[in-house]
Structure formats: structure tokens, C-alpha cells
Amino acid sequence: MALITLGINHRTAPLEIRERVAFTPERMPDAFRELQLATGASEAAILSTCNRTELYLAGDDDCGPAVLRWLAGFHQMAPADLENSIYIHRDSDAVRHVMRVAAGLDSMVLGEPQILGQLKDAYALAREHGASGSFLSRLFEHTFSVAKRVRTETAIGENPVSVAYAAVSMAHHIFSDLSRNRALLIGAGKTIELVARHLSDAGVKDFIVANRTVERAQALAEAHGGHGIVLSEIPDHLKDVDIIISSTASPLPILGKGAVERTLKKRKHRPFFMVDIAVPRDIEPEVAKLDDVYLYTVDDLRQVIEENLRSREGAAKEAENLIIAGTQDFLSQIRALDAVSTLKQYRQRAEDLRDQEVAKAVKALTNGNDPETVLRGLARGLTNKLLHEPSVQVRKASAEGRPEVAEWLRELHQLEALDPRDAPITLEKL
């Protein structure tokens, strides 16, 4: 089974590229259906976050080039537009990569825990669409186990500086006292939940949460003393907020330049602080050109985040060692499963030969033949048939200059070591 991981992330591709190849929930059914047909992969999973898009594929053949062509075509891009941003990992490297991703070692925020949940969601979605078979199931389950070990046995996840935390930290650069400011949070997913928690801890007491469904927005807002609205109501509330942080799965911008521009006039140019964590972006990039607007994207948070990288170098090394061990363990399990398949075939052949000889013996007994003669014939016939093919193959291998096959036979059957006088003659000895 060949394993391929193909993707882009915050290190290899700018935001403009990442948002073009992001998968929205609405397009996932089409993506799964087309991906397997176009690549010939027997199993597939898709991970799409603000910092990465990755495809995990298992099949009989290396489908890397086909995956690249499909990914570009699905998002109406030319393959050349992606070639400089794409990375491809195969087999053992692919296994190690997915484990590093799950443990947060490949994240913008070293050790951040959200990625593990996102990867679990990707696995669940693959199963929901019937795209994950036995191989990817084993890979993901083992990966989650390794990621758990990394988090419990190292300090990689202690007090992680999340993207949500970094966004709130940047707000302090604009507003000295956040308790005086009102926040508008767009979206109601896990990232916005974290943002709300950090803003509340920083002193923000007045929240508005906007979401596609008002019920979910209201539930999150009420937990922090705010209220929920639907997305269409955002323009009516813009003038009353100072902080806007957005993270949705919308394929199109939610907040445009025109709405912000009109609101700035009503606010008498009081500044807006905005952070757009979403990929694709929720806030039109042109908003950043307006005076009195401080708009940041997920890539602008790097400076805040880099502080946590230096503090976790030791924990990262420990985590990498656990990843290497986890990768080797998984590969050993897969090789063992391959051996099980071979052993099943071997046993089945032996049982078929046995059944043939037993049938002959029963027929001979029915015809009145001497039982002892029949039993001796059964034993002789079964022994000859079991030994015939291995003997032929060992002689053939030796004649072809592959003496290791004979050595494997000796190892398999725990035969005594050859007497030096009986050792096979090789060209080196002549």
C-alpha cells in the first residue's frame, strides 16, 4: 500500500494561495467523489485549516502527480500556480509528517492543540463519505495515540500561545485598556470560542457574536455576557464595536470595504482593530487601505507567536523523538500485517494439500486397502507435496546466485548451522 501526503501550509504558501485551495464544507462531498476517481486512490482524507490544506491518500500506486493536477483543477488553478508551494511526502515520510502535524510540531504555533481536533474532524469526515478504509483508519488511530503521548510526556503543550491568543495580544498594541472596548466576533466555531475566552480574560465585557445561525451565536455570546446576531445584521452594529475578530468557513468575504468606510464616518474616525483568522478571508483585503483601520491576517500573527518557539525548543526535541518511535512502530505493524496475509495464504495452501491427501486416503480405505499402507501413503504424499515447491525454489535461487534464500529456509525451520565442509561453493571460492 502506497501512502501519499500532498499539501501546502503557512511555511510554503502565502495567504493568497492558501485561501484559493481551501475546502469549504459545502464542497467536501464533491471533493471526495472526484478525488478518488481522478487519482485512483482507494482511500482518502482531506484536512483544510487556516494554515494548511493537506490530502492523505492510500492506494496501490504513487498518485502524486495526479493529485496535484486534480487539486489545481478542482480550485480552477493551473498546476504551475501550485508547484512552488506544494510538498509531497511518501510512505514512511508521509507517516512521520501526519504525526508531526497531529502533535502540533508543524504548526505556526508550536504545540497548539487545535490541530489535533481538526485532524480528528478530517478523519471523521473521510469515514462519513466512505473514503477511509482499513489503512488510513490504522494510520489515524495510531497518529492520535502518538500525539496524546507527545502531549502527556513532554512540555510541548504547556500554556500554548494559540492563534486566538496572539490575536488578542495584538489588540493590546492598539487599546491600552480593553475593558473599555466592545468586541464583534464573526463565527461561532472553536477558534472564536477561544478568542472570546481570551478577550474576556483581558477585560472585555461587551460582546456581540455574529453567526450564520443566531442560536449558536447567542449561546456563545451569553457565556460572556453578550448577545448574538445573524451575519446580515453586522452592518447595523459596526459603529458600536472597536474590536473585530473573524473566523468562519465562508467561501466569500463577509465584511466589505464599503460597509467599513461608511461606518468610519459615523464613528468620527475612531480606530478599528480587526483580525481575520479565516482562510479564505472573511474581511476584504482592501479594508486595510482605510485610515483608522488596523487589519491583520493570520500570517501577521507570526511575530507574537515566534516567542513561544524559542521557549519550547527542548520539548520539541523530545516530541520529535517520540514521533520517530511512533513512525517506526506503525511501519512495523503494517509489515506484520503484510506477513499475516502471506501466512494465511501459506496455511490455506497447506490445508488444501492436506484435504486432497485425506480424500485419497479415505477413498482407499473405502475400497478395502490396508489401513497401515494407506496411512503411510498419506504421510508420504503430504510430505512430498509440502516440500516440493520450496525445494524447487531454493535450488533455483541458488543456481541464480541467491544463496540467502537457502539461509532463510534454514532460519525458518531452525535447522542446524552448516558444517563449513558442506557450505555452498561460490565463485569467490573458485
Which pLDDT belongs to residue 165? 85
* Residue range 302-352, pLDDT digits in tens: 777 776 566 677 888 899 999 999 999 998 888 877 777 778 888 898 899
Q: What is the pTM of this model?
A: 0.76
Catalytic (active site) residue 63: no
Instruction: Write phi, then psi, for 277 (nearest 5 degrees).
Output: -85, -15
**Cα–Cα distance for residue pair 178/195, rounded to 1 Å:** 13
Which pLDDT belongs to residue 427? 44
Q: What is the 3-state secondary structure (H, E, C) of the chain?
A: CEEEEEEEECCCCCHHHHCCCCCCHHHHHHHHHHHHHHHCCCEEEEEECCCEEEEEEEECCCCHHHHHHHHHHHCCCCHHHHHCCCEEEEHHHHHHHHHHHHCCCCCCCCCCCHHHHHHHHHHHHHHHCCCCCHHHHHHHHHHHHHHHHHHHHCCCCCCCCCHHHHHHHHHHHHCCCHHHCEEEEECCCHHHHHHHHHHHHCCCCEEEEEECCHHHHHHHHHCCCCEEEEHHHHHHHHHHCCEEEECCCCCCCCECHHHHHHHHHHCCCCCEEEEECCCCCCECHHHHHCCCEEEEEHHHHHHHHHHHHHCCHHHHHHHHHHHHHHHHHHHHHHHHHHHHHHHHHHHHHHHHHHHHHHHHHHHHHHCCCCHHHHHHHHHHHHHHHHHHHHHHHHHHHHHCCCCHHHHHHHHHCCCCCCCHHHCCCCHHHC
Which pLDDT belongs to residue 307? 65
For 2, counting Cβ atoms within 10 Å of its Cβ (0-12 exposed, 13-18 middle, 19+ buried), the class is middle
In this prediction, residue 148 has a pLDDT band, given cuts at 50, 70 and 90, of: very high
Question: Bridge partners of 57?
Answer: 4, 44
Which pLDDT belongs to residue 159? 64
Is-cis flag, bond preceding 271, omega within 30? no
Residue 368 has pLDDT above 80, yes or no: yes
Which pLDDT belongs to residue 423? 56
**Cα–Cα distance for residue pair 247/228, rounded to 1 Å:** 15
Which pLDDT belongs to residue 175? 86
Which pLDDT belongs to residue 323? 95
Q: CA 79 → CA 185, 192, 358, distances in Å? A: 36, 34, 63
* Residue range 186-228, pLDDT digits in tens: 999 999 999 999 999 999 989 999 999 999 999 999 999 899 9
Residue 430 has pLDDT above 50, yes or no: no
Rounded average pLDDT over 35-45: 92
Which pLDDT belongs to residue 428? 46
Which pLDDT belongs to residue 49? 93
Exposure string for 176-206, b = 16+ CB within 10 A, e = fewer? eebeebebbbbbbeebbbbbbebbbebebeb
Which pLDDT belongs to residue 416? 80
Residue 158 has pLDDT above 80, yes or no: no
Selecting among 4, 50, 108, 298, the annotated active-site residue is: 50
8 A C-beta contact, residue 429 and residue 417: no
In this prediction, residue 376 has a pLDDT band, given cuts at 50, 70 and 90, of: very high
As given in the structure block, the three cell numbers for residue 167 are 490575536
**Cα–Cα distance for residue pair 171/24, rounded to 1 Å:** 28
Residue 90 has pLDDT above 60, yes or no: yes
Range with the lowest mean pLDDT among 19-23, 157-161, 211-215, 370-374? 157-161
Instruction: Write phi, then psi, for 296 (nearest 5 degrees).
Output: -120, 145
**Cα–Cα distance for residue pair 67/348, rounded to 1 Å:** 38
Which pLDDT belongs to residue 422? 58
Rounded average pLDDT over 53-69: 89
Instruction: Write phi, then psi, for 162 (nearest 5 degrees).
Output: -80, 165
Which pLDDT belongs to residue 316? 86
Rounded average pLDDT over 123-133: 95
Residue 270 has pLDDT above 80, yes or no: yes
Other C-beta atoms closer than 10 Å to the C-beta of 412 total 9
Residue 421 has pLDDT above 70, yes or no: no
All domains in the chain, ordered by first residue: 2-159 (3.30.460.30), 163-302 (3.40.50.720), 356-429 (no CATH)
Region of 292 on the Ramachandran plot (φ > 0 left; ψ -120 to 50 alpha; else beta): left
Exposure string for 365-374, b = 16+ CB within 10 A, e = fewer? eeeeeeeeeb
